[in-house]
C-alpha cells in the first residue's frame, strides 16, 4: 500500500486518527495544481466531466487539475477559466507548446 511519501516507520506507534491525519497532510503537499473552470453553456455543464475531478457544481464552476485534458477543453472553448478572486487575474498554470504538434 502506497503511503504517499510517509514511511511505515514514521507511522508506527501513532493512533489511527493520527496516522490518517499525517497521511492527509503529506498528500496535501503533493496535490497537483488546479484551475477553476466554468462551462460555456448548460449543455456542456450536463455532458462534460473531468475523468478524475468529476463534473460541474451547481454554483457554476469546477476545480479541475492543471493537466492536458483541462487545457484541451479550454483550447476547444468547451470551458473557460474563471478569474481567481484572490489575485484578480487568471490562476498560474503551465504553458503548452503548440509548435511541437
Environment class of 25 (CB within 10 Å of its CB; exposed 0-12, middle 13-18, buried 19+): exposed
The reported pTM is: 0.57
Q: Write the DSSP assignment of 18-63 as a string of letters.
A: HHHHHHHHHHHHTPPPEEEEEESSHHHHHH--BTTTBS--TTS-EE
Choose the weakest-confidence range: 1-5, 25-29, 38-42, 54-58.
Answer: 1-5
In the beta sheet, which residues pair with residue 65?
A: 34
Spell out the residues 6+ positions from residue 85 whose beta carbon is closer than 8 angstroms to its own.
none
Higher pLDDT, 72 or 25: 72
Say yes or no to pLDDT of 82 above 80: yes
Determine phi and psi for 86, rounding to 5 degrees. -75, -40
- Kindly list the domain boundaries of the chain, sorted by start residue: 1-30, 34-81
Amino acid at each position: 500500500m502506497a503511503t504517499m511519501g510517509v514511511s511505515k516507520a514514521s507511522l508506527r506507534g501513532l493512533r489511527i486518527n493520527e496516522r490518517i491525519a499525517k497521511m492527509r497532510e503529506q498528500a496535501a503537499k503533493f496535490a497537483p495544481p488546479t484551475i477553476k473552470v466554468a462551462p460555456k453553456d448548460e449543455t456542456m455543464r450536463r455532458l462534460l466531466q473531468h475523468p478524475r475531478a468529476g463534473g460541474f457544481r451547481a454554483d457554476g464552476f469546477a476545480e479541475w487539475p492543471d493537466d492536458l485534458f483541462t487545457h484541451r477543453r479550454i483550447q476547444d472553448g468547451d470551458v473557460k477559466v474563471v478569474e481567481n478572486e484572490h489575485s484578480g487575474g487568471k490562476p498560474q498554470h503551465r504553458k503548452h507548446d503548440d509548435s511541437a504538434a
